[in-house]
């Protein structure tokens, strides 16, 4: 029983589900209804870009209208007009679905002898009987009776170049007329082969023209050609775009930036890279001594000329660096430029002469000077002197910039003090540079003078040798022979060879002596000879017994003794440092003990003071209860 109830319930649920599902596919029904009228369901629209048309007589013009089916059903459309002689259509019968549109071309034709201002209507009718009208205004007038065309094989050219043109003229009117060609703004630049010619109706002619614009014209040029009909007084024009390339380039190069003090010009090259001859105006600003040789310069195409700046030596009184500005403005082409440059004026013949020595001996036969070229030029020089006692070698030389050369001076006789001479250098341009040299002249004995620094010597017992210092105090190197003259055979000179000494040089002269423990003074003579010169010195030798200072010194001069003494001193220093440390520690300990005793004493005094205070308080509390003191 229960199973049957469950089956019935299941069937009911299935039917209910199917009923709900079927509702999803049933169209919804609302309370609003759309009622279509006859006009709406068969409606359409007509439109056109303009409401009026202007045209020339004897011409044809196209116009357009757009027809759109705005109804609910397809329709067949038929077009007609009230001006069948003027208006015709590209389509007069066509079919449009609902929502479709169609553009129809209208061909408007005006007769050559008709001028009018009227209207025309286009009637559009559907197969459902509905008709709409589109009315437009049309104005027909007489237009120009001329047609014109311009052509040339050249669209791009260079300045100063003639350009040929062909001008096509046609009489589009109905009567003969005379035509004149013009090129506004270029009347002086154009040549027309024929002008003021007569053309019959429908006749045409090609006229030649040659245009040669000014050399300064470049860039995009709009050339307007005009043709005018004489009878109708009508004018037409054609524009021709001609490109004239910028062909005025030029370059400059500064040739001179460094000048010598005797130069009088500065050169600047100007190269015309264009295809036409050009003239350049020049303007200079700079120092007063600088000016332009010419204010203009003319340069042929693809050629180079030199701009010359002149220097006035009367106003140019110093060397150094100077600035100037040169403005260059070409006659053709807007390419003005300003050069801002610097030039330097140098002392090109800048020589310096230095003496290797400024003191000479009276018997000196040659000396040397050094010539330095500080200038920027390589010099070819001739060396001369007015002094007959001097001969420079070499007499001719070449010296490069910043180079040094040595010049030998052969001296014949130096008979004055000081000795002055003049060296003159003649340059290749015949300019001269002169130098005055002044030498101090010394006699021979002063030049080769030598001396002992000290000729007194002390020799202690036990010593058997010593040395003296011999020094060259003169100005000229020499070789010396030394001799020792003495009456004591035990006293001998150990240096027996000849001695060569440069100025300022010193050497040791060694002696041996064995005076056998005497204590006396001994004298000898020291003689030095060189060439014809002799120098004699008295030499004193003291022989003495050694003192304790000498013995101590002998002791400490031994290496072993020095090391031992050093160690002994170090040990003594360490011991002193140890004693000092012990002393400091003891002092610190004593101070610490005194501090502790002081703190202890202070604590005891504070305790006793507090105890007394407590006793006084107790006595003051119990004093009223104490038995009276007995008198007596």
256 DSSP 8-state letter:
-
447 DSSP 8-state letter:
H
Mean pLDDT of 481-486: 89
Confidence of residue 603 (pLDDT cuts 50, 70, 90): confident
- Residue 327 confidence (pLDDT): 94
Most confident residue range from 124-138, 554-568, 603-617: 124-138
pLDDT at 610 over 90: no
Mean pLDDT of 472-493: 87
Confidence of residue 208 (pLDDT cuts 50, 70, 90): very high
pLDDT at 330 over 50: yes
User: Which residues are bridge partners to 254 per DSSP?
Assistant: 268
244/15: higher pLDDT: 244
pLDDT at 24 over 50: no
- Residue 12 confidence (pLDDT): 52
Q: What is the pLDDT of residues 273-322, one digit of tens each?
A: 888 889 999 999 999 889 999 999 999 999 999 999 999 877 877 778 89
Q: What is the pLDDT of residues 210-253, one digit of tens each?
A: 999 888 888 899 999 999 988 777 888 899 999 988 888 889 99
With beta carbons less than 8 A apart as the criterion, state whether 87 and 108 touch.
yes
Could you tell me which CATH number the domain at 351-442 has? 2.60.40.3450
Mean pLDDT, all residues of the chain: 84
Q: What is the pLDDT of residues 336-348, one digit of tens each?
A: 899 999 988 887 8
Superfamily of domain 250-346: Immunoglobulins (2.60.40.10)
Beta strands across the sheet bearing 131-141: 52-56, 131-141, 116-126, 75-81, 93-96
User: For the chain, first and last CA: distance in Å?
Assistant: 144
pLDDT at 116 over 70: yes
475/438: higher pLDDT: 438
Confidence of residue 34 (pLDDT cuts 50, 70, 90): very low
Mean pLDDT of 421-434: 87
Mean pLDDT of 591-605: 88
pLDDT at 166 over 50: yes
Residue with tokens 């003291």: 542
Helix pair 559-622, 548-556: axis angle to 10 deg:
90
pLDDT at 184 over 80: yes
- Residue 554 confidence (pLDDT): 53
Pairing of strands 533-544, 456-460: parallel
Q: Using CB atoms within 10 A of its CB, is residue 526 exposed (0-12), middle (13-18) or buried (19+)?
A: buried
pLDDT at 548 over 60: no
Strands of 506-583, DSSP E: 506-513, 521-530, 533-544
> Does this chain's domain 38-141 share its CATH topology with 146-244?
yes
Most confident residue range from 182-196, 246-260, 407-421, 456-470: 182-196
- Residue 550 confidence (pLDDT): 53
Confidence of residue 31 (pLDDT cuts 50, 70, 90): very low
Let me know the angle formed at the C-alpha of 475 by 474 and 476, rounded to the nearest 5 degrees.
105
Pairing of strands 499-501, 478-485: antiparallel
Q: Where are the domains of the chain?
A: 38-141, 146-244, 250-346, 351-442, 447-553
- Residue 10 confidence (pLDDT): 53
Choose the CATH number for 447-553 among 1.20.210.10, 1.10.10.10, 2.40.50.100, 2.60.40.10: 2.60.40.10
- Residue 35 confidence (pLDDT): 35
Return d(Cα 135, Cα 82) in angstroms, integer: 10
SS3 content of the chain, % helix, strand, coil (to 5): 15, 50, 35
Return d(Cα 303, Cα 484) in angstroms, integer: 93
Return d(Cα 140, Cα 265) in angstroms, integer: 80
Least confident of 36-45, 93-102, 405-414: 36-45
Tokens standing for 577? 């440092």
Mean pLDDT of 346-353: 84
Return d(Cα 266, Cα 316) in angstroms, integer: 14
Phi, psi (deg, nearest 5) at residue 522: -125, 145
Domain 38-141, what fold? Immunoglobulin-like (2.60.40)
Confidence of residue 55 (pLDDT cuts 50, 70, 90): confident
28/151: higher pLDDT: 151
- Residue 242 confidence (pLDDT): 92
Q: What is the pLDDT of residues 354-413, one digit of tens each?
A: 988 888 887 788 889 999 988 878 889 999 998 888 889 998 989 988 889 999 998 887
Confidence of residue 431 (pLDDT cuts 50, 70, 90): confident
- Residue 338 confidence (pLDDT): 92
- Residue 100 confidence (pLDDT): 93
Mean pLDDT of 56-70: 85
Return d(Cα 626, Cα 624) in angstroms, integer: 6
Domain 146-244, what fold? Immunoglobulin-like (2.60.40)
Predicted TM-score (pTM) of the model is 0.40
Confidence of residue 16 (pLDDT cuts 50, 70, 90): very low
């Amino acid at each position: 029983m229960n199973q049957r109830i469950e089956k019935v319930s299941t069937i009911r649920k299935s039917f209910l589900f199917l009923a709900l599902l079927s509702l999803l596919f049933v169209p919804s029904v609302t309370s609003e209804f759309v009622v279509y009228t006859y006009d709406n369901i068969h409606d359409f629209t007509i439109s056109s870009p303009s409401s009026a048309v202007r045209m020339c007589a004897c011409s044809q013009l196209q116009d357009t209208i757009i027809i759109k089916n705005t109804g609910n059903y397809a329709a067949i459309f038929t077009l007609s007009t009230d001006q069948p002689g003027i208006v015709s259509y590209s389509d007069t019968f066509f079919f449009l679905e609902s929502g479709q549109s169609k553009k129809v071309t209208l061909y408007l034709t005006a007769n050559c002898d008709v001028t009018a201002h009227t209207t025309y209507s286009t009637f559009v009718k559907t197969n459902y009987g509905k008709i709409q009208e589109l009315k437009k205004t049309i104005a027909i007038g007489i237009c120009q009776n001329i047609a014109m065309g311009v052509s040339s094989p050249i669209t791009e050219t260079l300045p100063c170049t003639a350009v040929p043109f062909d001008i096509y003229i046609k009489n589009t009117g109905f009567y003969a007329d005379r035509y004149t060609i013009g090129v506004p703004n270029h009347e002086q630049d154009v040549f027309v082969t024929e002008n003021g010619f007569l053309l019959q109706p429908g006749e045409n002619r090609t006229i030649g023209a040659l245009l040669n614009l000014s050399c300064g014209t470049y860039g995009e040029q709009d050339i307007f050609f005009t043709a005018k009909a004489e009878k109708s007084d009508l004018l037409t024009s054609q524009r021709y775009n001609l490109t004239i390339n910028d062909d005025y380039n030029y370059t400059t190069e500064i040739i001179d930036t460094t000048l010598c003090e005797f130069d009088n010009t500065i050169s600047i090259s100007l190269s015309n890279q264009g295809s036409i001859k050009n003239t350049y105006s020049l303007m200079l600003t700079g120092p007063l001594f600088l000016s332009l040789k010419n204010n203009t310069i003319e340069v042929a195409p693809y050629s180079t000329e030199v701009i010359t700046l002149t220097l006035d030596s009367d106003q140019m009184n110093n060397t150094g660096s100077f600035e100037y500005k040169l403005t260059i403005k070409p006659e053709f082409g807007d390419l003005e430029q300003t050069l801002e440059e610097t030039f330097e004026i140098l002392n090109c013949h800048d020589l310096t002469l230095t003496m290797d020595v400024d003191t000479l001996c009276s018997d000196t036969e040659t000396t040397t000077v050094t010539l330095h070229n500080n200038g920027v030029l390589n010099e070819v020089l001739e060396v001369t002197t007015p002094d007959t006692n001097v001969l420079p070698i070499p007499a001719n030389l070449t010296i490069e910039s910043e180079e040094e050369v040595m010049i030998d001076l052969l001296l014949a006789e130096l008979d004055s003090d000081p000795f002055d001479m003049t060296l003159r250098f003649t340059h290749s341009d015949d300019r001269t540079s002169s130098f005055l040299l002044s030498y101090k002249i010394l006699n021979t004995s002063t030049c080769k003078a030598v001396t002992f620094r000290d000729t007194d010597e002390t020799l202690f017992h036990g010593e058997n040798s010593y040395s003296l210092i011999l020094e060259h105090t003169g100005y000229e190197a020499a070789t010396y022979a030394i001799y020792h003259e003495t009456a004591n055979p035990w006293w001998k000179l150990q240096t027996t060879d000849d001695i060569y000494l440069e100025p300022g040089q010193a050497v040791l002269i060694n002696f041996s002596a064995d005076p056998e423990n005497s204590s006396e003074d001994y004298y000898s003579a020291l003689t030095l000879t060189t060439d014809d010169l002799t120098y004699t010195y008295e030499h004193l030798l003291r022989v003495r017994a050694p003192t304790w200072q000498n013995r101590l010194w002998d002791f400490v001069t031994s290496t072993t003794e020095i090391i031992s003494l050093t160690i002994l001193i170090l040990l003594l220093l360490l011991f002193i440092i140890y004693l000092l440390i012990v002393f400091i520690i003891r002092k610190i300990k004593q101070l610490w003990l005194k501090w502790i005793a002081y703190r202890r004493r202070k604590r005891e005094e504070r305790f006793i003071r507090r105890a007394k205070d407590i006793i006084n308080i107790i006595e003051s509390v119990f004093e009223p209860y104490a038995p009276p003191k007995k008198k007596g």
